Amino acid sequence: MHRSLTPTFLLALLLAPAVSWAQQQKAPADTSTRHLRLREVVITATRTEKALTEVPIPVTVVSRQQIKTMGALRLSDVLGEQTGLNVVADHGRGIQMQGLNPEYTLILVDGEPLIGRTAGTLELSRVAVGNIERVEVVKGPASALWGSEALAGVVNIITQKPQPGTRGEVRLRYGTNRTADVGGTFNLKQNRLGITVFGNRYSSAGYTLQPASGQATVPPFASYTGQSRLSYQLDDKTTLSISGRYFIENQRSELPISTEGGQTAPVRLKSRQQDFSLNPTLTRCFSDKLFGTLRFYHAGYRTQENYTYTTDGAYYDASYFHQTFTRPEAQLDWRLHPKHTLTAGAGYLLESVEATRYDQRQQMRSAYGYLQDDWAPLPGLNLVAGVRYDGHNQYRGQLSPKLSGRYQVRPWLAVRASAGRGFRAPDFRQLYLNFSNPAVGYSVFGTHQVQEKVAQLVTQGQIAVDPATGQPLINAALLEQASSLTAESSRAYNAGFQLDPTSKLRLTANFFHNDLHDLIETAAVAQKTNGQSVYSYRNVSRAYTQGVEADARYLLGQYLTLSAGYQYLIAKDRTVLAQLKAGSIYRRDPQTLETIRLREADYGGLYNRSRHTANVKLFYENQAAGWSGSVRGVYRGRYGFQDRNGNLILDAANEYVPGYWLLNVAAAKTFRQRYTLQAGLDNALNYTNPAYLSTVPGRLYYASVAVALGQK
């Protein structure tokens, strides 16, 4: 079955009569929120175009129309309202999927990763949604296709492709906190040439939730996004497409810094972040059976932070972070049979980073290959098997298999299940950090160089000596573990069903279990003479997340769609569970000061996870009359914030943040199919929790106007 593609064979295919397979594959993308049965096509699940209703793994699609009706501006607005996704803040706003932190979800734009995770989280507000065709969210590990980071899942932002004709749109929006969004799109397609251009300026005066702190929660900022795509049909079988992106954000803030004398001095922070990418892609239909793609992707991410004293402008501190990502990749899709497609791909990745806290410019290289077999052996049955190998110059190679299947039991019932492995490579920090705190005196070294750095400190006499043995206080076992750092990985299982009891109602549910291994933690590897420690990283913890996600969608008449979603989640650290079983975790009653031994039932699991999350949405869409509107309620149940009673685990009532609802409303009217007015209100209940929720400002009003240009 897996015949190798020999040169002769390839040549034969090249010479075979050309029939445009891509044309046959193309199905109209459904942009309506209403119709349940139209063939929506997704690309992220199998890296080939496939009908959403046929993919064997859980995929959520958010269409352009839905994004417009929501009044969303940034990717975080869109994702935060989807079932099973929580926007969480940790050095930036990211997405928590299946109970896993933001660094475990891969974020792609047209299949290529966004970079710039300085501390793990990729800031989702960097992505404007004005030119998005749809957002695809794949849940469960997808490392078998996408490699590192795709451990919890993948978010793929599909931008608009050139459509026939010449048209454009300009948009202006203004709202609370002097938040302004101005932008436009332009589209041209004639004969062989297609062009799209997107430009956007997004700015805000920010907001302050805790005035007493003397610091803005979100300081004023302004950002610009430019994105463009050019496609050119070289011949009737070959298309060249070039995409580019540029983003820049400037932010200014003032913050009080305590000086050595014990006083505070105001310091001004000017920060700038930029990202850019260039992505030429060549696609060719060799025959109606063989389709090839060659992609090249180069991206950069840069930040610069300058701190100066407000009074005299003198230098206080400065830092920068520069990252690049370069990747050529090739993929072949070979349709053996209408019901059987083989996909094979390979690529090479070169990453570099240069930053204030790193010794020098650091480079990582990896090469990978993947293979997928998408087969429908029986009517209604679809099996997809895939495997990917990632070889890396810094840690051991990763083999990621995945098997998934879907079976249409009855016309109104389909079941699907999948099992796979996901991984996340150690990041730059964990490999290369070289940081010593000048004030306190502790040091943190990346695992790549920790042995060398510790040896250096020993010769400099900076490592404390054990008086009994005369040996330096180094934990050799931990140091060894640090030096052999490997990727974090998971084994995950998903199973679910889709039920269509009537033409108006659809119910879906998915059960998931992620078994996580080798999670990376800091470890004190040596003790310094100043009483501080030398830290590095090692693979240590084991954890699991599991739960169920359910969605219901009901058509209430011709124009109204009612939907509801719910997720139940359990996420626990296995080390803590073992300690609880052994009876070695305790709690002291804060009033009586009596100590008790904790049981498994007292353990609330990993921090920042809500057991219950839910949403209820009502969408109205009447294109003929030009009216659209939505009311969306999003609930996040209580979740653990931090330990307060010193036993390091989540167990006491005061360690939780209370649950809350966010209610968002928007309405729009289109006149003469050209002018659209929209007004909206986010967080209508005006919910805030200044101490624990920095990302939720109060009530936000906005109004916008959009004008469509050119041919309709």
Partner 1 sequence: MTQLFSRFTLMALAGPTLLFNACSKDDNDNEVKPAEALKTETASNLAPAPGTTNPTTGQPGTPRHYAFYSLANKSTVAYTDSATTKWDLAVRGTTILVNGSSSGPGQGGAIVKEGLFSEVTTAPTTDYKQDTPTAKAIPTGSGNGWYNYNSTTHVVAPIAGRVLLIRTATGKYAKVEIVSYYKDAPATPVGTEPSGYYTFRYVYQPDGSTNLK
Rounded to a whole number of angstroms, the minimum distance from the CB of residue 595 to partner 1 is 5
Q: Per-residue x/- marks for partner 1, 135-174, CB under 8 A?
A: ----------------------------------------
User: Could you say which residues in the range 529-558 bind partner 1, by CB under 8 A?
Assistant: 531-533
Q: Does 258 bind partner 1 (CB under 8 A)?
A: yes
* Contact (CB, 8 A) for 136 and 42: yes
User: Could you say which residues in the range 621-650 bind partner 1, by CB under 8 A?
Assistant: 642-648
Q: Does 213 bind partner 1 (CB under 8 A)?
A: no
> With CB under 8 A as the contact rule, which of the stretches 257-265, 325-333, 352-360, 681-689 interacts with partner 1?
257-265
Task: List, in sequence order, every residue forming a beta bridge with 100; answer none if it has no partner.
Answer: 97
> With CB under 8 A as the contact rule, which of the stretches 254-262, 396-404, 447-455, 701-709 interacts with partner 1?
254-262
89 vs 465 by CB, closer to partner 1: 465
422 vs 472 by CB, closer to partner 1: 472
Rounded to a whole number of angstroms, the minimum distance from the CB of residue 649 to partner 1 is 11
CA separation for the pair 180, 702 (Å, rounded): 9
Q: Does 465 bind partner 1 (CB under 8 A)?
A: yes
Which conformational region is residue 300 in: left (phi greater than 0), alpha (psi within -120 to 50 degrees), or beta?
Answer: beta
Q: At which residue do the structure tokens 């992620």 appear?
A: 514
1 vs 593 by CB, closer to partner 1: 593
Going from the C-alpha of 515 to that of each of 100, 106, 184, 355, 512, the distances in angstroms are: 11, 18, 44, 34, 10
> With CB under 8 A as the contact rule, which of the stretches 155-163, 447-455, 506-514, 591-599 interacts with partner 1?
591-599
Give the interface size with partner 1 as a residue count (CB under 8 A): 36
CA separation for the pair 50, 286 (Å, rounded): 20
Q: Does 468 bind partner 1 (CB under 8 A)?
A: yes
Q: At which residue do the structure tokens 């869109």 appear?
A: 78
Task: List, in sequence order, every residue forming a beta bridge with 235; answer none if it has no partner.
Answer: 238
User: Could you say which residues in the range 349-388 bind partner 1, by CB under 8 A?
Assistant: none
Q: At which residue do the structure tokens 């430009």 appear?
A: 199
Q: Per-residue x/- marks for partner 1, 652-681, CB under 8 A?
A: --x---------------------------
Going from the C-alpha of 495 to that of each of 62, 319, 391, 416, 523, the distances in angstroms are: 22, 46, 30, 6, 37
Residue 397: helix, strand or coil by DSSP? coil
Q: Does 263 bind partner 1 (CB under 8 A)?
A: yes
The identity of residue 654, as a single letter, is N
288 vs 643 by CB, closer to partner 1: 643
Q: Does 587 bind partner 1 (CB under 8 A)?
A: yes
Element spanning 671, H or E: strand 660-671
Two tokens at 489?
A: 């990985």
> With CB under 8 A as the contact rule, which of the stretches 179-187, 463-471, 568-576, 657-665 interacts with partner 1?
463-471
The identity of residue 163, as a single letter, is Q
165 vs 590 by CB, closer to partner 1: 590
Going from the C-alpha of 598 to that of each of 285, 447, 456, 536, 661, the distances in angstroms are: 63, 35, 44, 31, 32
DSSP assignment of 26-47: --PPP--SS-SSS--EESTTTS
Rounded to a whole number of angstroms, the minimum distance from the CB of residue 528 to partner 1 is 11
Residues 264, 265, 266, 270, Cα dihedral to 10°: -110
Rounded to a whole number of angstroms, the minimum distance from the CB of residue 211 to partner 1 is 19
Rounded to a whole number of angstroms, the minimum distance from the CB of residue 467 to partner 1 is 5
Q: Which of 262, 313, 338, 557 binds partner 1 (CB under 8 A)?
A: 262
Q: At which residue do the structure tokens 């475990």 appear?
A: 104
9 vs 586 by CB, closer to partner 1: 586
Rounded to a whole number of angstroms, the minimum distance from the CB of residue 479 to partner 1 is 18
> With CB under 8 A as the contact rule, which of the stretches 449-457, 538-546, 582-590, 696-704 interacts with partner 1?
582-590
Alpha helix (H) residue ranges in 128-273: 143-146
DSSP category for residue 104:
G
Find the angle CA(320)-CA(323)-CA(327) to the nearest 5 degrees: 175
Q: Which of 503, 595, 623, 673 binds partner 1 (CB under 8 A)?
A: 595
Q: Does 466 bind partner 1 (CB under 8 A)?
A: yes
Burial 151-174 (b: 16+ CB within 10 A, else e): bbbbbbbbbbbbeeeebebebebe
Rounded to a whole number of angstroms, the minimum distance from the CB of residue 683 to partner 1 is 26
* Contact (CB, 8 A) for 535 and 568: no
Q: Per-residue x/- marks for partner 1, 426-445, CB under 8 A?
A: -----------x-xx-x---
183 vs 604 by CB, closer to partner 1: 604
DSSP assignment of 409-435: EETTEEEEEEEEEEEE---HHHHHBEE
Q: Does 470 bind partner 1 (CB under 8 A)?
A: no
Q: Does 584 bind partner 1 (CB under 8 A)?
A: yes
| Residue ranges binding partner 1 (CB under 8 A) | 258, 261-263, 437, 439-440, 442, 464-468, 473, 531-533, 584-588, 590-591, 593, 595-597, 642-648, 654
